[in-house]
């Protein structure tokens, strides 16, 4: 009779990789960060890589904007990782056969790529530019559907992910996809299940592929009235299997309108400068769920307002003390009052002036941002 050790060795040998590992061999979760420090705070640094992520919400709630922001971050991240690994290998004079093979692959393939499936055909180049997404980057390609069924699109995406050259795939959105069953019927004929069945199979395949290749899959989903429940409510496309295979599910909702100073204004305002995007963590298997609710600030002219979000989180954590209309900057570690080069206390009146000060003062902004980044992982 074979021992457990013999069987595990045989299985590991059959698959050509370590199927059975010790707990201390499990890798740390890598993440793709948001540009907003508030969004990074509530997700402990961003969305986990090598997993399926759902961004759901009503129309205009910020789902696509968030996905594009993550694409912009991913381009910078993938380029940096590629350059770091390439430099490390090139500077190593004693490369073994495995390292030499890895170096050849890097030089041939380049950084990881991003595939954005724009199934709604609604992407706007000007808005992408405001969000910092370089559409001319060779790292991002846009998949434009030409009347394919959901099954055909899913098969294409699995093949793309299976190459191992793609680090991020975005489906925008699941709600507009049509199953092959529906394509074969006239508009008058009823169809049942929608894309639930093909999405169930796709999510299972994609989950395994993400784990194998390290690719991250983002599925943007619409929220609709739940017609199958006697109690009403809202539901998302895809059935329960899709939800089960998602490691993280984020629900989005449009928040308060804001003015140019990022202060909340009445909803009846005719010319808002932006709005807050509310985020609720509905499911997470990649970080603690204790930071369940949050938001980030969106400016219609400048994209995501990183400085406004930094100001809010610093005030919430006591790095900036608020007393009436005055804001006093404190050392995040010692809580001592910060002073400028002339030994004047850093005390500023008005939130908009605090935002302007942080925007103009690189040193203080760096201190606050570093402290928030340290706070993110705690």
269 part of a folded domain: yes
Asked whether residue 9 is assigned to any structural domain, the reply reads no
Q: Is 129 found in the same domain as 167?
A: yes
Residues 298 and 356 in one domain: no
pLDDT for the residue numbered 185: 66
Please work out, in degrees rounded to the nearest 5, the angle formed at the alpha carbon of residue 296 by the alpha carbons of 295 and 302: 160
Residues 29 and 103 in one domain: yes
- Looking at the structure, do residues 300 and 326 belong to the same domain, yes or no? no
Together in a domain, 221 and 258: yes
In a domain, 335, yes or no: yes
Domain total of the chain: 2
* CA–CA gap between residue 337 and residue 321 (Å, rounded): 9
Residues 274 and 183 grouped into a single domain: yes
In a domain, 15, yes or no: no
Judging by beta carbons within 10 Å of its beta carbon (0-12, 13-18, 19+), is residue 34 exposed, middle or buried?
buried
pLDDT in tens, 3-14: 998 888 888 888
Residue 257 has phi, psi (to 5 degrees) of: -70, 155
Task: Return all residues near 368 (Cβ < 8 A) that are at least 6 apart.
Answer: 310, 314, 319, 320, 329, 332, 358
Residue 211 and residue 221 share a domain: yes
Residue 323's domain spans which residues?
A: 306-378
Q: Check which CATH number belongs to the domain holding 323 and give it.
A: 3.30.250.10
| CATH number of the domain within which 274 lies | 3.40.50.300
Q: Answer for the pair 113, 72: CB distance below 8 angstroms, yes or no.
A: no
**Together in a domain, 208 and 277:** yes
Q: Is residue 284 in some structural domain? A: yes
What pLDDT is stored for residue 231 in this prediction? Answer: 46
Euclidean distance between CA atoms 347 and 376, whole angstroms: 26
Q: Do 310 and 300 share a structural domain? A: no
CA–CA distance, 8 with 299 (Å, rounded to integer): 55
Full-prediction pTM beyond 0.85? yes
Query: For position 357, what pLDDT does the model report?
Result: 95
Establish if 10 belongs to a structural domain: no
d(C-alpha 75, C-alpha 111), whole Å = 9
**pLDDT digit string (tens) for the chain, length 378 residues:** 789 988 888 888 887 667 777 777 667 889 999 999 999 999 999 999 999 999 999 999 999 999 999 999 999 999 999 999 999 999 998 899 999 999 999 999 999 999 999 999 999 999 999 999 999 999 999 999 888 999 999 999 999 999 999 999 999 999 999 888 777 766 566 655 578 899 999 999 999 999 999 999 999 998 876 555 544 456 787 788 999 999 999 999 999 999 988 888 887 677 899 999 999 999 999 988 888 899 999 999 999 999 999 999 999 999 999 999 999 999 999 999 999 888 999 999 999 999 999 999 999 999 999 999 998 877
pLDDT (0 to 100) of residue 179? 87
Which of 289, 304, 319 is a domain's end point?
A: 304
Among candidate residues 304, 329, 360, the one where a domain is terminated: 304
Q: Tell me: do 130 and 254 sit in the same domain.
A: yes
Q: What is the pLDDT of residue 230?
A: 47
Question: Residue 202 to residues 18, 23, 69, 206, 207: CA-CA distances in angstroms?
Answer: 25, 29, 25, 6, 8
Q: Are residues 29 and 89 in the same domain?
A: yes
Contact, 299 vs 305, CB < 8 A? yes
CB 62 within 8 A of CB 300: no
* d(C-alpha 69, C-alpha 303), whole Å: 9
Task: Report angle CA 333, 334, 335 to the nearest 5 degrees.
Answer: 95
User: Is 287 in the same domain as 314?
Assistant: no
Residue 8 lies in a domain: no
Q: CA 71, CA 132: separation in Å to the nearest integer?
A: 9
Examine the fold and report which residue of 279, 304, 329 is the final residue of a domain before the chain moves on. 304
DSSP 19-71: SS--GGGSPPPPEEPPSSHHHHHHTTSSEETTSEEEEEESTTSSHHHHHHHHH
Q: Is residue 169 assigned to a domain?
A: yes
């Amino acid at each position: 009779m074979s021992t457990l050790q013999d069987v595990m060795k045989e299985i590991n040998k059959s698959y050509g990789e370590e199927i059975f590992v010790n707990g201390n061999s499990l890798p740390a979760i890598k993440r793709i960060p948001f540009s907003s420090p508030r969004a990074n705070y509530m997700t402990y640094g961003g969305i986990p890589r090598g997993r399926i992520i759902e961004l759901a919400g009503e129309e205009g709630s910020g789902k696509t904007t968030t996905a594009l922001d993550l694409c912009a971050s991913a381009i910078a991240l993938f380029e940096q990782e590629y350059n770091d690994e390439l430099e490390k290998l090139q500077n190593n004079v004693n490369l073994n056969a495995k390292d030499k093979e890895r170096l050849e692959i890097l030089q041939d393939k380049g950084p990881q790529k991003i595939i954005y499936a724009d199934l709604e055909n609604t992407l706007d180049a000007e808005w992408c530019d405001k969000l910092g997404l370089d559409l001319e980057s060779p790292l991002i390609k846009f998949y434009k559907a030409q009347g394919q069924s959901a099954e055909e699109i899913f098969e294409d995406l699995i093949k793309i992910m299976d190459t191992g050259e793609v680090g991020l795939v975005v489906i925008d959105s699941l709600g507009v996809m049509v199953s092959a069953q529906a394509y074969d019927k006239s508009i008058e004929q009823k169809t049942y299940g929608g894309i639930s069945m093909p999405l169930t199979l796709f999510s299972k395949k994609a989950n395994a592929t993400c784990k194998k290749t390290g690719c991250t899959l983002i599925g943007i989903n619409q929220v609709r009235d739940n017609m199958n429940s006697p109690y009403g409510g809202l539901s998302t496309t895809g059935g329960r299997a899709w939800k089960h295979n998602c490691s993280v599910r984020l629900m989005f909702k449009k928040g308060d309108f804001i003015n140019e100073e990022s202060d909340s204004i009445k909803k009846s305002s005719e010319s808002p400068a932006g709005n807050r995007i509310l985020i609720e963590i509905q499911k997470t298997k990649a970080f603690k769920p204790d930071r369940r609710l949050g938001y980030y600030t969106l400016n219609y002219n400048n994209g995501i307002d990183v400085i406004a979000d930094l100001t809010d989180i610093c005030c919430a954590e006591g790095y900036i003390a608020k007393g009436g209309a005055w804001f006093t900057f404190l050392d995040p570690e010692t809580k001592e009052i910060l002073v400028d080069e002339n030994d004047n206390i850093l005390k500023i009146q008005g939130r908009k002036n605090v935002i302007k000060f942080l925007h103009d003062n690189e040193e203080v902004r760096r201190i606050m941002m570093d402290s928030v980044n340290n706070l993110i992982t705690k």
